[in-house]
Protein backbone atom coordinates (compact mmCIF):
# COMPACT_ATOMS: atom_id res chain seq x y z
CA UNK A 1 0.00 0.00 0.00
CA UNK A 2 2.70 2.43 1.00
CA UNK A 3 4.67 1.67 -2.17
CA UNK A 4 1.55 2.32 -4.19
CA UNK A 5 0.93 5.63 -2.44
CA UNK A 6 4.51 6.71 -3.00
CA UNK A 7 4.23 5.96 -6.73
CA UNK A 8 0.90 7.77 -6.83
CA UNK A 9 2.49 10.78 -5.15
CA UNK A 10 5.21 10.88 -7.81
CA UNK A 11 2.83 10.52 -10.72
CA UNK A 12 -0.04 12.60 -9.43
CA UNK A 13 -0.49 15.19 -12.15
CA UNK A 14 -1.03 18.05 -9.70
CA UNK A 15 2.46 17.46 -8.45
CA UNK A 16 3.92 18.74 -11.69
CA UNK A 17 2.38 22.09 -10.93
CA UNK A 18 4.59 23.98 -8.55
CA UNK A 19 1.80 26.48 -7.81
CA UNK A 20 -0.14 23.77 -6.00
CA UNK A 21 0.17 23.83 -2.25
CA UNK A 22 -0.83 21.28 0.36
CA UNK A 23 -1.79 22.51 3.82
CA UNK A 24 -2.31 19.97 6.60
CA UNK A 25 -4.22 20.69 9.80
CA UNK A 26 -3.48 18.74 12.95
CA UNK A 27 -4.86 19.07 16.46
CA UNK A 28 -3.96 16.31 18.89
CA UNK A 29 -1.06 13.89 18.47
CA UNK A 30 -1.06 11.26 21.23
CA UNK A 31 -1.64 7.62 22.09
CA UNK A 32 -4.53 8.17 24.53
CA UNK A 33 -6.96 6.52 22.13
CA UNK A 34 -9.83 8.75 23.32
CA UNK A 35 -13.33 7.91 22.14
CA UNK A 36 -14.23 11.53 21.41
CA UNK A 37 -11.94 13.76 19.41
CA UNK A 38 -9.04 11.29 19.38
CA UNK A 39 -5.50 12.32 18.52
CA UNK A 40 -3.40 11.07 15.63
CA UNK A 41 -1.31 8.22 17.10
CA UNK A 42 2.33 9.26 17.60
CA UNK A 43 3.69 6.48 15.37
CA UNK A 44 1.30 7.40 12.54
CA UNK A 45 2.26 11.05 12.86
CA UNK A 46 5.97 10.24 12.70
CA UNK A 47 5.56 7.93 9.70
CA UNK A 48 3.49 10.56 7.94
CA UNK A 49 6.18 13.15 8.61
CA UNK A 50 8.75 10.81 7.01
CA UNK A 51 6.51 10.51 3.97
CA UNK A 52 6.14 14.29 3.87
CA UNK A 53 9.87 14.84 4.23
CA UNK A 54 10.64 12.51 1.31
CA UNK A 55 7.96 13.77 -1.06
CA UNK A 56 7.34 17.45 -0.33
CA UNK A 57 9.05 20.78 0.21
CA UNK A 58 7.90 21.83 3.67
CA UNK A 59 7.70 25.58 4.17
CA UNK A 60 6.13 28.32 6.30
CA UNK A 61 3.36 30.60 5.05
CA UNK A 62 5.66 33.59 5.00
CA UNK A 63 7.96 31.73 2.57
CA UNK A 64 5.25 31.15 -0.04
CA UNK A 65 6.20 34.22 -2.12
CA UNK A 66 9.81 32.98 -2.31
CA UNK A 67 8.81 29.56 -3.57
CA UNK A 68 5.90 29.97 -5.96
CA UNK A 69 7.95 31.37 -8.80
CA UNK A 70 10.48 28.57 -8.70
CA UNK A 71 10.08 25.28 -10.53
CA UNK A 72 10.20 22.72 -7.76
CA UNK A 73 10.82 19.01 -7.97
CA UNK A 74 8.65 18.44 -4.94
CA UNK A 75 5.30 20.14 -4.26
CA UNK A 76 4.93 22.66 -1.45
CA UNK A 77 3.39 21.63 1.84
CA UNK A 78 2.62 23.44 5.07
CA UNK A 79 2.02 21.67 8.39
CA UNK A 80 -0.33 23.45 10.80
CA UNK A 81 -1.53 22.76 14.34
CA UNK A 82 -4.66 24.42 15.76
CA UNK A 83 -5.94 24.86 19.32
CA UNK A 84 -2.50 25.00 21.01
CA UNK A 85 -2.48 21.47 22.40
CA UNK A 86 0.35 20.57 24.76
CA UNK A 87 0.84 17.48 22.54
CA UNK A 88 2.89 19.78 20.31
CA UNK A 89 5.43 20.25 23.12
CA UNK A 90 5.41 16.63 24.31
CA UNK A 91 4.95 14.58 21.10
CA UNK A 92 5.76 16.77 18.11
CA UNK A 93 8.53 19.20 19.00
CA UNK A 94 11.48 16.79 19.34
CA UNK A 95 10.56 14.87 16.21
CA UNK A 96 10.33 18.02 14.13
CA UNK A 97 13.67 19.26 15.51
CA UNK A 98 15.31 15.94 14.70
CA UNK A 99 13.97 15.99 11.14
CA UNK A 100 14.23 19.76 10.70
CA UNK A 101 10.61 20.06 9.60
CA UNK A 102 8.89 23.44 9.69
CA UNK A 103 5.39 23.94 11.10
CA UNK A 104 2.83 26.57 12.02
CA UNK A 105 1.00 26.75 15.37
CA UNK A 106 -2.28 28.69 15.48
CA UNK A 107 -3.21 29.80 18.98
CA UNK A 108 -6.65 30.62 20.36
CA UNK A 109 -5.20 32.92 22.97
CA UNK A 110 -7.85 32.54 25.70
CA UNK A 111 -6.25 29.16 26.49
CA UNK A 112 -3.09 30.99 27.57
CA UNK A 113 -5.10 32.91 30.19
CA UNK A 114 -7.40 30.06 31.32
CA UNK A 115 -4.84 27.24 31.19
CA UNK A 116 -7.48 24.99 29.65
CA UNK A 117 -8.56 24.21 26.07
CA UNK A 118 -11.24 25.99 24.05
CA UNK A 119 -14.90 25.22 24.85
CA UNK A 120 -15.47 22.54 22.20
CA UNK A 121 -12.56 20.50 23.52
CA UNK A 122 -13.80 20.92 27.10
CA UNK A 123 -17.03 19.27 25.95
CA UNK A 124 -15.20 16.38 24.28
CA UNK A 125 -13.07 15.98 27.41
CA UNK A 126 -16.22 15.67 29.55
CA UNK A 127 -17.69 13.20 27.04
CA UNK A 128 -14.56 11.08 27.38
CA UNK A 129 -15.21 10.76 31.10
CA UNK A 130 -16.05 7.20 32.11
CA UNK A 131 -19.48 7.67 33.67
CA UNK A 132 -21.39 8.94 30.68
CA UNK A 133 -25.17 9.40 30.79
CA UNK A 134 -27.03 7.49 28.06
CA UNK A 135 -28.40 10.72 26.64
CA UNK A 136 -28.00 14.39 27.46
CA UNK A 137 -30.38 17.33 27.53
CA UNK A 138 -29.78 20.85 28.84
CA UNK A 139 -33.27 22.27 28.34
CA UNK A 140 -32.02 25.84 28.60
CA UNK A 141 -30.15 25.49 25.33
CA UNK A 142 -31.37 22.32 23.63
CA UNK A 143 -34.71 21.20 22.22
CA UNK A 144 -33.94 17.50 21.88
CA UNK A 145 -31.65 15.23 23.87
CA UNK A 146 -28.43 13.95 22.28
CA UNK A 147 -28.09 10.17 22.40
CA UNK A 148 -24.64 9.35 23.70
CA UNK A 149 -24.59 5.59 24.04
CA UNK A 150 -24.90 3.53 20.91
CA UNK A 151 -24.22 6.44 18.56
CA UNK A 152 -21.04 6.87 16.56
CA UNK A 153 -18.64 9.16 18.49
CA UNK A 154 -18.29 11.53 15.52
CA UNK A 155 -22.07 11.94 15.40
CA UNK A 156 -22.23 12.73 19.13
CA UNK A 157 -19.32 15.17 18.78
CA UNK A 158 -21.00 17.04 15.95
CA UNK A 159 -24.35 17.17 17.81
CA UNK A 160 -22.64 18.85 20.79
CA UNK A 161 -20.63 21.05 18.46
CA UNK A 162 -23.86 22.25 16.83
CA UNK A 163 -25.40 23.16 20.20
CA UNK A 164 -22.30 24.96 21.46
CA UNK A 165 -21.72 26.83 18.18
CA UNK A 166 -24.91 28.82 18.68
CA UNK A 167 -24.19 29.94 22.25
CA UNK A 168 -22.61 33.15 23.51
CA UNK A 169 -19.50 32.97 25.69
CA UNK A 170 -21.30 33.03 29.08
CA UNK A 171 -23.89 30.54 27.82
CA UNK A 172 -21.12 28.16 26.79
CA UNK A 173 -19.69 28.41 30.29
CA UNK A 174 -23.15 27.70 31.82
CA UNK A 175 -23.64 24.78 29.47
CA UNK A 176 -20.26 23.27 30.35
CA UNK A 177 -20.75 23.81 34.10
CA UNK A 178 -24.04 21.90 34.00
CA UNK A 179 -22.53 19.17 31.87
CA UNK A 180 -19.75 18.73 34.42
CA UNK A 181 -22.37 18.20 37.13
CA UNK A 182 -24.50 15.81 35.08
CA UNK A 183 -21.46 13.76 34.10
CA UNK A 184 -20.18 13.74 37.69
CA UNK A 185 -16.90 15.31 36.64
CA UNK A 186 -16.51 18.44 38.73
CA UNK A 187 -12.73 18.61 38.34
CA UNK A 188 -12.33 17.57 34.71
CA UNK A 189 -8.99 16.37 33.53
CA UNK A 190 -8.93 18.83 30.66
CA UNK A 191 -6.58 18.36 27.74
CA UNK A 192 -3.35 20.24 28.50
CA UNK A 193 -2.54 23.32 26.44
CA UNK A 194 0.61 25.26 25.57
CA UNK A 195 1.68 28.12 27.85
CA UNK A 196 2.82 31.68 27.22
CA UNK A 197 6.25 30.73 28.56
CA UNK A 198 6.67 27.88 26.09
CA UNK A 199 5.57 30.05 23.17
CA UNK A 200 7.95 32.82 24.28
CA UNK A 201 10.79 30.27 24.38
CA UNK A 202 10.13 29.41 20.70
CA UNK A 203 10.37 33.03 19.62
CA UNK A 204 13.56 32.50 17.62
CA UNK A 205 12.97 28.86 16.69
CA UNK A 206 13.36 28.85 12.88
CA UNK A 207 11.12 25.78 12.54
CA UNK A 208 8.05 27.29 14.21
CA UNK A 209 5.80 30.02 12.88
CA UNK A 210 2.83 31.23 14.97
CA UNK A 211 -0.60 32.32 13.82
CA UNK A 212 -3.86 33.30 15.46
CA UNK A 213 -6.86 31.01 15.86
CA UNK A 214 -9.04 33.82 17.39
CA UNK A 215 -9.23 34.50 21.11
CA UNK A 216 -12.08 32.35 22.43
CA UNK A 217 -12.70 30.07 19.41
CA UNK A 218 -16.28 31.11 18.52
CA UNK A 219 -17.90 30.16 15.22
CA UNK A 220 -17.54 33.39 13.25
CA UNK A 221 -20.85 33.07 11.37
CA UNK A 222 -22.61 33.63 14.73
CA UNK A 223 -20.75 36.88 15.56
CA UNK A 224 -21.40 40.54 14.83
CA UNK A 225 -18.67 42.53 13.04
CA UNK A 226 -17.69 44.17 16.33
CA UNK A 227 -17.37 40.78 18.01
CA UNK A 228 -15.24 39.51 15.13
CA UNK A 229 -12.95 42.54 15.34
CA UNK A 230 -12.58 42.02 19.11
CA UNK A 231 -11.68 38.33 18.63
CA UNK A 232 -9.13 38.89 15.88
CA UNK A 233 -7.42 41.93 17.37
CA UNK A 234 -7.18 40.62 20.94
CA UNK A 235 -5.51 37.36 19.91
CA UNK A 236 -3.20 39.19 17.50
CA UNK A 237 -2.07 41.57 20.24
CA UNK A 238 -1.50 38.78 22.76
CA UNK A 239 0.68 36.69 20.42
CA UNK A 240 2.55 39.71 19.07
CA UNK A 241 3.26 40.79 22.65
CA UNK A 242 4.67 37.35 23.53
CA UNK A 243 6.77 37.02 20.36
CA UNK A 244 7.56 40.63 19.68
CA UNK A 245 6.84 40.11 15.98
CA UNK A 246 3.94 40.56 13.59
CA UNK A 247 1.31 37.85 13.35
CA UNK A 248 -0.09 37.59 9.81
CA UNK A 249 -1.71 34.14 9.79
CA UNK A 250 -5.28 33.49 10.87
CA UNK A 251 -6.98 30.09 11.08
CA UNK A 252 -10.78 30.23 11.34
CA UNK A 253 -12.26 28.45 14.38
CA UNK A 254 -14.10 25.36 13.08
CA UNK A 255 -12.83 26.44 9.66
CA UNK A 256 -15.82 28.75 9.18
CA UNK A 257 -15.58 32.25 7.74
CA UNK A 258 -16.96 34.35 4.88
CA UNK A 259 -15.96 37.20 2.60
CA UNK A 260 -17.03 39.77 5.19
CA UNK A 261 -14.90 38.26 7.96
CA UNK A 262 -12.05 37.87 5.43
CA UNK A 263 -12.25 41.60 4.82
CA UNK A 264 -12.13 42.38 8.56
CA UNK A 265 -9.09 40.09 8.91
CA UNK A 266 -7.34 41.98 6.11
CA UNK A 267 -8.19 45.30 7.78
CA UNK A 268 -6.47 44.35 11.03
CA UNK A 269 -3.38 43.05 9.23
CA UNK A 270 -3.75 39.32 8.57
CA UNK A 271 -2.27 38.19 5.25
CA UNK A 272 -2.85 34.44 5.27
CA UNK A 273 -6.38 33.24 5.98
CA UNK A 274 -6.90 29.55 6.64
CA UNK A 275 -10.13 27.66 6.06
CA UNK A 276 -10.80 23.96 6.59
CA UNK A 277 -12.36 22.28 3.62
CA UNK A 278 -10.35 19.16 2.88
CA UNK A 279 -9.38 20.67 -0.47
CA UNK A 280 -6.08 21.22 -2.22
CA UNK A 281 -4.99 24.76 -3.01
CA UNK A 282 -4.58 25.23 -6.73
CA UNK A 283 -2.95 28.63 -6.52
CA UNK A 284 -0.39 29.17 -3.81
CA UNK A 285 -0.62 32.92 -4.29
CA UNK A 286 -4.28 33.08 -3.31
CA UNK A 287 -3.75 34.04 0.34
CA UNK A 288 -6.82 31.97 1.25
CA UNK A 289 -5.86 28.44 2.06
CA UNK A 290 -7.88 25.27 2.43
CA UNK A 291 -6.55 22.68 4.81
CA UNK A 292 -6.80 18.93 5.02
CA UNK A 293 -8.07 17.92 8.45
CA UNK A 294 -5.69 15.21 9.67
CA UNK A 295 -7.09 12.89 12.34
CA UNK A 296 -6.56 9.42 10.90
CA UNK A 297 -5.27 6.50 12.93
CA UNK A 298 -3.51 4.68 10.08
CA UNK A 299 -0.73 5.98 7.87
CA UNK A 300 -2.46 4.87 4.67
CA UNK A 301 -5.66 6.75 5.46
CA UNK A 302 -3.68 9.79 6.54
CA UNK A 303 -1.81 9.84 3.20
CA UNK A 304 -5.02 9.37 1.21
CA UNK A 305 -6.53 12.29 3.12
CA UNK A 306 -3.45 14.42 2.63
CA UNK A 307 -3.51 13.90 -1.14
CA UNK A 308 -7.20 14.80 -1.32
CA UNK A 309 -8.19 11.28 -2.36
CA UNK A 310 -10.40 10.48 0.67
CA UNK A 311 -12.52 13.57 0.06
CA UNK A 312 -12.89 12.58 -3.61
CA UNK A 313 -14.03 9.11 -2.54
CA UNK A 314 -16.56 10.68 -0.15
CA UNK A 315 -17.94 12.83 -2.98
CA UNK A 316 -18.29 9.84 -5.30
CA UNK A 317 -20.00 7.83 -2.54
CA UNK A 318 -22.48 10.64 -1.95
CA UNK A 319 -23.24 10.90 -5.67
CA UNK A 320 -23.77 7.16 -6.02
CA UNK A 321 -25.77 6.41 -2.89
CA UNK A 322 -27.77 9.54 -2.15
ZN1 LIG B 1 -9.81 25.00 16.57
Q: What is the pLDDT of residues 34-66, one digit of tens each?
A: 999 999 999 999 999 999 999 999 999 999 888
d(CA 178, CA 236): 32
Cα–Cα dist 120/214, whole Å:
14
Q: Ligand 1: distance of its center to the CA of 205 in Å?
A: 23
Residue 105 CA, ligand 1 centroid: distance in Å:
11
How remote is the CA of residue 81 from the centroid of ligand 1, in Å?
9
Q: Look at residue 72 in the predicted model and tell me its pLDDT.
A: 77
Alpha helices in the chain (DSSP H): 2-11, 42-55, 64-68, 87, 93-99, 110-114, 119-127, 153-165, 169-182, 196-201, 225-243, 259-267, 299-306, 309-321
CATH domain 2-113+207-321 topology = TIM Barrel (3.20.20)
In percent, the amount of the chain with pLDDT more than 70 equals: 94
- Predicted confidence band at 317 (pLDDT cuts at 50, 70, 90)? confident
pLDDT band with cut points at 50, 70 and 90 for residue 147: very high
- CA 72 to ligand 1 centroid distance, Å: 32
Rounded to 5, what percent of the chain is helix, strand, coil? 45, 15, 40
Q: Residues whose CB is under 5 A from ligand 1 (ion)?
A: 82-83
pTM summary value:
0.92
Return d(Cα 213, Cα 83) in angstroms, integer: 7
- 271 CA to centre of ligand 1 in angstroms: 19
Does 245 have pLDDT greater than 60?
yes
Please report the pLDDT score of residue 126 as a whole number: 95
Cα separation, 95 vs 81, in Å, equals: 15
pLDDT for residue 232 is more than 60: yes
CB 72 within 8 Å of CB 18: yes
Q: How confident is the model at residue 238 (pLDDT cuts 50, 70, 90)?
A: very high
Q: How far is CA 220 from the centre of its chain?
A: 15
Amino acid sequence: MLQYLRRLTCNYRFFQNSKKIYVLMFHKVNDLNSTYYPGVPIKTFEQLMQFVKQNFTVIHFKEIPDFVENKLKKPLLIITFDDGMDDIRTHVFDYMELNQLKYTINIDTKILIDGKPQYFIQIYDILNHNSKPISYLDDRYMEHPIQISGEKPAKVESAFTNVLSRLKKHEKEDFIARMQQEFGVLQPNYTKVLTKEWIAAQKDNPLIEFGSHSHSHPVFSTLSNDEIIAEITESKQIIEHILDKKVTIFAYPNGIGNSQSDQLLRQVGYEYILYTQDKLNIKATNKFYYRMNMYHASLERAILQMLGILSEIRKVKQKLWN
